[in-house]
A and B are shown apart, each in its own frame.
Chain A
Amino acid sequence: MATTATAPTYAGAESHAESGLWSWLSTVDHKRIAALYLGTSLFWFLVGGLEASIIRLQLALPNGNVVSAERFNELFTMHGTTMIFLVVMPLSAAFFNLLIPLQIGARDVAFPRLNAFSYWVYLFGSIFLNVSWFVGSAPDGGWFGYTPLTTLAYSKNLNIDFWVLGLQILGVSSLAAGFNFITTIVNMRAPGMYFMRMPIFTWMSFIVQFLIVLAFPVITIALVFLQFDRFFGTNFYEIAQGGDPLLWQHLFWIFGHPEVYILILPAFGLVSEILPTFSRKPLFGYPVMVYSGMLIAFLGFGVWAHHMFAVGMGPIADTVFGVTTMLIAIPTGVKIFNWIFTMWGGVLRFTTAMKFAITLVALFVVGGISGVMHASPPADLQQTDTYFIVAHFHYVLVAGSMMGLFAGVYYYYPKFTGRMLDEKLGSWHFWLFFIGVNLTFFPMHFSGLYGMPRRIYRYDAGQGWESFNLTSSIGMGIQIIATVIGFWNFWRSRKNGDIAGNDPWGAPTLEWSIPSPPPDYNFAKVPKVTSRYPLWDVKSPALTSEVPHSPTGEERVDIDVGGQHAGRVSRAIGNPPGGPVGASREVPFGPSGPAPTPRRLPTAKELGIPMPNPSIKPFFVALFMTLMFASLIAIHKDKTQLAVVLVMLFAGALTASLYGWLLTPLEDEH
């Protein structure tokens, strides 16, 4: 019988996948780089969460005494910087890396070594940023680093230097990855994978890469100005010389607002993959989902000054930016309704991934509505710099981005590791996190409207804020328990989870047609794609009857289903509704089928697929680049000569290793 579940078929160690530290340092495999991104960003999630916990501990009761005002400034600055640049962006990058090639039917990204370089720059940059804790001057100017507070006149220590240089380093990582993924998506789609057949996650990633390559240069320049002001005595933000503090605010938010879409669109993409799978329905309004993503990104470049209503830009600017901001609610609302209509009438399966995904849909609306509220300048003037704003952006970033990314972790963990996450622990993780998040952030709406300012490190009793703050802090405690459970699940399931098989969820897109974890070459045979849902075409054609197909629908047989190559007959292979999780009794795909017979996958060599050689050079280029930036710190230790020598030294090493990289072929000659 063709439906017999084949065991997950692992690429044996004798394929390209070696083990050991060296293989990780020199890897250029997008799946391994994805795993590195995943592990590193989850680690920084714990660090950023620890910072948040101390903040909540300090604010739990009036006149808290846990940390000093200075330390509190460092904590909220590093909490924001960590969560945005070291957690949500790289966690999204983990999914870009894993999924973009798999979803478009490619064997790797366009530039595998550049991909490794992006990761190493991220890792070294994140370490550099956090080294500041150990030299006793962590960044303390807020994640937005407003001038002139961050200029040398008001911040004489190294705090801001670490922040400026750290963000410059991290920007290089994002930009390099952006060029890489744009090229990958434009140029490496499998035959038949037209743009309007790409999975929505790939679409949202594509849009995000454009946001990155267009928004990051602006923050780069804003930071260059600040860096020059601090290091070389220029006047960009020097008020006495006629410098305008608004210059920083404009440049920062021209980057900063697209940045929030960089943070949320990948999560939107993940949710758009998860809801159709667990509703067993094609995504409602696929083209509109694509266009609304584009529209969000486009409008995202025209709303930056809504972060600046309080500076008094005048009625015309306020009106224009208020209106454009409200306009963004339209494509976002379209997405929300499309997700609801996707679920409507579907065969819903409430797996942990689905629960996280639905929660994004529900709770993002809360953050979205408060966002529309302060799109109105008069309302914003009441709310700005209060905890109401804190509530707003935590609803979109924690209850939005993080929920979506956790949904993605639960959904794609099997593809990463070949093992399922434990659904019972997952359920605890979800419910506790759900309760904790709402308990923490919902009361902030009230404390904000009662006038509690952001960024204060203590407050007096008797202003009506005590109960809200205590509730928030209790919620934080629940989030900690949830996170411990979730991370324990992530850790133990690597070895102990159920065997996943190719397609544990009965999902429609190409990444589920290949083994979990995928062999280094991903696709033994490059698939030909004839619709948006190639797997459902083969396994459950009834589901995709209303989705456009190529006239030559027979070509669809070129994908692997259940580890077996699906010939034309395989249209008979039906995958009944309902996935394996908690329901493996009824479903032929999954762990409880006939005893799996482990089968060694052919190696790339046996299949004649050319693979890129591992290379340590991106590691060294990234290392020397980070050290080069880091050496600038010495200038402010009054060791300018040392700084110059070090910068020259590392620049030389950087150039040498870069030439070594560029002059070494990616692959062996054939």
Chain B
Amino acid sequence: MSTSAVAHAGHPPTTTGLDHRKIAIWAFIGSECMLFASLISTYLIYKGRSRVGPFPHEWWCQTTNATSATGPIAGCPAGALFKPILNIPVTSQSTFVLLMSSLAMVLALAAVENKDKPGWAGPGFGGRLLESSKLWLLSTALLGAGFLCYQAYEFTSFVHEGLTIKTNLFGSSFFTLTGFHGAHVTAGVLWLLTLLAIDVKRGLGPRDALLVDISALYWHFVDVVWIAIFTLVYLIR
């Protein structure tokens, strides 16, 4: 691994004392903010502008194109009535899963940073659990993968309920926004699994903490973006 090339002998110290990769990941995150800002803005601009359903928060009758925010539309034939498509209880679960992955990420970083201080997490089984960087890297990746499973389920059920990326403006902007987020989570899971593989192969210690640190920054950022999406897309009508 290209661990801390900066600290090598012969290189002058960096101006800020920070590793280059730490600066770069922050610049990257700044750039990613604009990426998601564009996606979220587009979603919000197009909110309520779809000509046909299904809609995120409203009932929709396909035959009359009538909508209702309160409940089923009277007189709409059975096959033509579509319910609000967003499933907030299920998405709340997936949001919880993703938030927990951030917790696991924090624990993974702490485990790597303190690898050379056995017993730092206290005595007993709990302490040994907290000290296992492999466990927490794996947990983070699995929770991320769990979130992706929820997303796959959500996308599939939406398609079954008649909403595809081609259906209307809501479908296009919703699938593109959440799909971009899902792609970021996927990249993060691959990144975490790579770190896990390195950990298994040779063990990650305090001098590799930066590798985990920058992946954690990325992971928390993706998590924060989801909180914005969950609030703006799912919770606010």
Contacts and interface: CB of A to CB of B under 8 A. Distances in A.
B27 interface: yes
A189 B18 CA distance: 13
A217 B39 CA distance: 10
Given A111-B20, A188-B14, A663-B1, A216 B31 contact: yes
A232 B18 contact: no
B38 A244 contact: no
Given A111-B24, A235-B169, A609-B10, A217 B1 contact: no
Interface of A: 107, 110-111, 175, 178-180, 182-183, 186-191, 193, 213-218, 220-222, 224-225, 228, 232-236, 240-244, 247, 251, 254, 526, 608-610, 659, 662-667, 670
A-B pairs with lowest CB-CB distance, top 4: A217-B35, A221-B38, A234-B172, A217-B34
B24 A241 contact: no
B35 A220 contact: yes
A662 B2 contact: yes
Contact of A670 (B10, B12, B52): B10
A345 B32 CA distance: 48
B35 A235 contact: no
B38 A251 contact: yes
Contact of B20 (A175, A187, A222): A187
Interface string B11-52: 110111010100110011011101100110010011001111
B78 interface: no
A244 B45 contact: yes
A183 B8 contact: no
Contacts of B172: 225, 228, 234-236
B176 interface: yes
Range for the number of chain B residues in contact with chain A: 35 or more
Contacts of A526: 12
**Residue from B27, B30, B171 with most neighbouring chain A CB atoms (10 Å):** B27
B24 A110 contact: yes
Interface of B: 1-2, 5, 8-12, 14-16, 18, 20, 23-24, 27-28, 30-32, 34-35, 38-39, 42, 45-46, 49-52, 165-166, 168-169, 171-173, 176, 194
B51 A241 contact: yes
Contact of B2 (A217, A242, A665): A665
A294 to B, nearest CB: 16
Contacts of A187: 14-16, 18, 20, 23
Nearest to B5: A666
Nearest to B34: A217
Given A111-B24, A247-B42, A241 B169 contact: yes
Nearest to A209: B27
A110 B38 contact: no
A213 B31 contact: yes
Given A215-B34, A228-B165, A244-B45, 9 more contacts: A182-B23, A187-B15, A234-B171, A235-B171, A236-B173, A241-B52, A247-B42, A664-B2, A665-B5
13 contacts: A111-B20, A187-B16, A213-B30, A213-B31, A216-B31, A220-B38, A225-B172, A232-B165, A232-B166, A236-B42, A241-B52, A610-B9, A667-B5
A188 B161 CA distance: 55
A175 B10 contact: no
Contacts of A218: 34-35, 38
A610 B31 contact: no
B42 A175 contact: no
Nearest to A220: B35
Nearest to B165: A234
B176 A183 contact: no
A183 B38 contact: no
Given A221-B38, A221-B42, A213 B27 contact: yes
Contacts of A666: 2, 5
Given A217-B34, A217-B38, A610-B8, A178 B27 contact: yes
Contact of B23 (A186, A190, A215, A228): A186
A579 to B, nearest CB: 31
A666 to B, nearest CB: 5
A111 B24 CA distance: 9
B130 to A, nearest CB: 29
